[in-house]
Structure 1
């Protein structure tokens, strides 16, 4: 009784317009069900529609490719933090060799799997990765491979009570305290009849061998929500509208004339009224009808603005910049392109850190290192006692391309010179390991010295004083460098 009374009181007092059932919101009655219930009812259809759009709609395909290219690119790669250089180098080499063997299907490497997982995540909001141990006789660098399983492989409709406090919810088995203990996968994809047998069969896989890549949008959410969810309707209807406009333009480009004859026995000209209208076609009609010229309605100047505004809404729904979604660079300039990229990159970095690295890269690295030590592929003394130290690793995403290379690099040099960031941080942001870069630079300098080469150019450092005296000092340094270079050149010319 208190509920209806409080609602009537709220309507009389006022308060939040969003909670009132007035004229504007009378038909706005969203479901109060939890997201798990909504996904159980709508998830399979929503995922199927997202896949259909990616296969048949250029904007959807472009958005998916843009997401995968920016989140993964050539791969999010590890840089071990082991202090001993030799042990670190040995582990990194072993990892590099294993990445080519990581895919259980044998069609790509570990970084290709990352890209596939990013695509599946964008399509259905989730992806499953099974960690599959292999036999020593299989000849792998480390006896481990990864198997990607799409969302459809875990039956979202499977929910049952198992007893002893255990239960299966949407294909995931939980123990009495709510921990995930297993996943019940289909043995074959339910929509793939090309694989004979095993239809409807499921297999229980322990949770420690499964990585569930998902980014829950609500507390307690079990399964993923497609990133296409808020854009599916607009993309589908926009595609239909675009097709209708193409057909209208095709008909409008055909000049057709209809002529009346007073002789009902006159033979008709080539082509009948019911035939498809062709360019320049003349059709003889029955007596009593007037001559008409085909004049389809024109959309006028509304087509492009309508397309632009609709694609802006789709862009916002997908979280993809408009230029990336549409490949329309006409409306882009330096300022708005940079602003859009900065916002997009913040979203991508959040996904890389909290989802891709945390849920995929770290567990794979840990399982890889464990098996590498157990099989003797790498030697890490005291591993059981110092496992946390040996597993310490920094994951480096691919570097972002500069929007304005000269300005951006100068700004970064000044940050390093002012002590606002380190060289290691700057190199890491580019997707490289600082120690490896330093080793390469040292090797280059050694080789240049041995060959009598010097490709270094003197430049004003970020911490040099921006004064006239400082500029004069820099000029003198340049002159000294030029003099030393000239002396070296003269010496080389004097040599036999």
Structure 2
């Protein structure tokens, strides 16, 4: 066989099959791949988006596993608390009080139902189910959620421009405007409402390609698995209920039929066996050669249970949720913590997407408050609010408490002493506001000193004479 040499001087078999990617070849062993590459929004146009959203919403209403998975995802990706760290204690306190006021339902949501925390949680839930969800800024300072299916193309010829799935885009793909619709009479159909510019509406969604216009739900790849789980569970329950109606079968070694087992003549011997378990256990005195057996089956069988668990594991991967979250007895302590750490890593980008919306809203609402005179701020803060470079506040994710406090706190102290960590980072990892803790500690020591019952702790105590005991990063 002839041998050729590649550019690196390595001998290669001249047989063409050796020089190809197997994935690019067809064959009858498996379904061939499609060579057609299309825009993602043409793969999932509006009518198909509604089909997928309707399927996920229906399953969420009826399948507790999916509803639980979405809630668990929201628990890890939408819970934050605000920290203001401008260095000006008076302004920090004023700013946090202002945020508390404008984040209440009557001041935040135009419908008056959702505060900041609940709104963000519901916004992310809609994005997970439908792929995306709009959040419109109103002149009143409120926000209004625009669900995914209410963003659709306007009637042909009414508004010029390039429209893709309800979004007017530039030649480069930048979002310019959105066509907002209302639900029709009785909640059915759609009625065109208005065109909203990109600066007034934040489209919060899931994107996996650069030229993608509308977000696509991460549950799309798992919706069929969840549907199979739901249907399989229903069928397994139906089979189990049938098996609960146990039956007693009689077998007799005879050439003639047993006849009607329950029939009895006035002067005749019964032609079969009359058994009633209603009065309790019964003793069967049977003829030689006859036998009785209960009809039963293992439902659902072990193989069925294991397969359903495997499908659940696969379906939960759509949201990166470990199976040990679903089945706490699936692994040991170290396996559970390892799975949790990997899941925490997967939540970093998901939180970042939610934080992008939170910071966008905060800067818009703070600028509006400055214009209206709702709050006063130092000149440096005003510059930061309009430049958006280095912000004086931070939305910190709610952390998890220590799993084994006695060991983990000691390890954290050792890391801080070795210069490998900081108190601020340790507190942030566990959902604690370091600066607030320091302020409370200072007040506690000052109050105890005033009463003459000083608090004695092992280690350093705060200097109650200092005006600013906590350092700033």
- Tell me whether the two structures share a fold, i.e. TM-score over 0.5: yes
1:199 and 1:207 map into 2 onto residues whose CA distance is: 21
Is the 2:154–2:192 contact (alpha carbons within 8 Å) kept by the matching residues of 1? no
Query: Which among 100, 104, 107 is matched to residue 96 of structure 1?
Result: 100
Stretches of structure 2 that go unaligned for 5 or more consecutive residues are: 1-13, 251-256, 265-275, 279-290, 462-473
1:331-410 residue pairs with structure 2 within 5 A? 331-353=330-352, 355-358=353-356, 360-382=357-379, 385=383, 387-388=386-387, 391-410=391-410
2:49 and 2:206 map into 1 onto residues whose CA distance is: 15
Moved more, 337-346 or 240-249: 240-249
Is the 1:81–1:390 contact (alpha carbons within 8 Å) kept by the matching residues of 2? no
Query: Which among 63, 68, 75 is matched to residue 74 of structure 2?
Result: 68
Q: Which residue of 1 aligns with 2:212?
A: 221
Q: Deviations over 1:340-371 (max 9, x none)?
A: 10111111122112x0111x111111011101
Moved more, 34-43 or 335-344: 34-43
The structure, 1 or 2, with the larger RCO (C-alpha pairs under 8 Å, 6+ apart) is 1
Q: 1:243 to 1:199 in 2, by over 3 A?
A: closer
1:456 and 1:246 map into 2 onto residues whose CA distance is: 62
- Alpha-carbon shift at residue 452 of structure 1 (Å): 3.1
Q: Which residue of 2 aligns with 1:43?
A: 49
TM-score, normalisation: structure 2: 0.78
2:311 and 2:433 map into 1 onto residues whose CA distance is: 43
Q: Which residue of 2 aligns with 1:22?
A: 27
Q: Which residue of 2 aligns with 1:305?
A: 306
Is the 1:79–1:394 contact (alpha carbons within 8 Å) kept by the matching residues of 2? yes
Is the 1:396–1:429 contact (alpha carbons within 8 Å) kept by the matching residues of 2? no
2:413 and 2:399 map into 1 onto residues whose CA distance is: 16
- Alpha-carbon shift at residue 65 of structure 1 (Å): 0.9
Q: Deviations over 1:273-324 (max 9, x none)?
A: xxxxx998xxxxxxxxxx9977365454312221222222112233111132
Q: Which residue of 1 aligns with 2:7?
A: none
1:279 and 1:174 map into 2 onto residues whose CA distance is: 75
Query: Which among 141, 149, 152 is matched to residue 152 of structure 1?
Result: 149
1:186 aligns with 2:187: no
Q: Deviations over 1:371-393 (max 9, x none)?
A: 11111111124466553378432
Q: Deviations over 1:8-60 (max 9, x none)?
A: x9974542111111232354447533211111163221111111111100110
1:51-450 residue pairs with structure 2 within 5 A? 51-72=57-78, 75-100=79-104, 101-134=107-140, 144-155=141-152, 166-175=161-170, 178-188=173-183, 193-194=185-186, 199-256=190-247, 295=295, 297-298=297-298, 300-324=301-325, 326=326, 328-353=327-352, 355-358=353-356, 360-382=357-379, 385=383, 387-388=386-387, 391-450=391-450
Is the 1:402–1:408 contact (alpha carbons within 8 Å) kept by the matching residues of 2? yes
Is the 2:246–2:296 contact (alpha carbons within 8 Å) kept by the matching residues of 1? no
TM-score, normalisation: structure 1: 0.75
Is the 1:254–1:279 contact (alpha carbons within 8 Å) kept by the matching residues of 2? no
Is the 2:162–2:170 contact (alpha carbons within 8 Å) kept by the matching residues of 1? yes
Q: Which residue of 2 aligns with 1:32?
A: 37
**How many residue pairs are counted as aligned between the two chains?**
414
Moved more, 239-248 or 46-55: 239-248
